[in-house]
Amino acid sequence: MLVKEQIEAIYEKSNSQSHFNELLIEAGYSPYVRGSKSGGVTLEDGRNIRFKSLGFDAGKLQELDIRRRNLRRLGNYGLESS
């Protein structure tokens, strides 16, 4: 599986940026920060790949935290599925 496909699959499973980073680490990637934002991942061979190069802009990554807030809101109403 290509790096882009793996990261897209991890993104789909994630419910927040911190969960996304945890899943990246479990998959063998090292997330790195560029400036003050998530920048990309460092591969095992030391190469850095920016999220932007993989089709993940800042907005797409911020959607993860929106997803988390929505899940919390649903949980507060007793609607979250277990």
Between 4-8, 61-65, 75-79, the lowest mean confidence (pLDDT) is in 75-79
80 has pLDDT over 60:
no
Q: pLDDT of 24-56, one tens digit each?
A: 999 999 999 888 888 899 988 899 999 889 888
Q: Which residue has the tokens 């919390």?
A: 72
Who wins on pLDDT, 51 or 77? 51
Q: Mention every residue, 6+ apart, whose C-beta is less than 8 A from residue 52.
A: 40
Q: Which residue has the tokens 């959607």?
A: 63
- Domain spans in the chain, listed from the N-terminal domain onward: 3-76
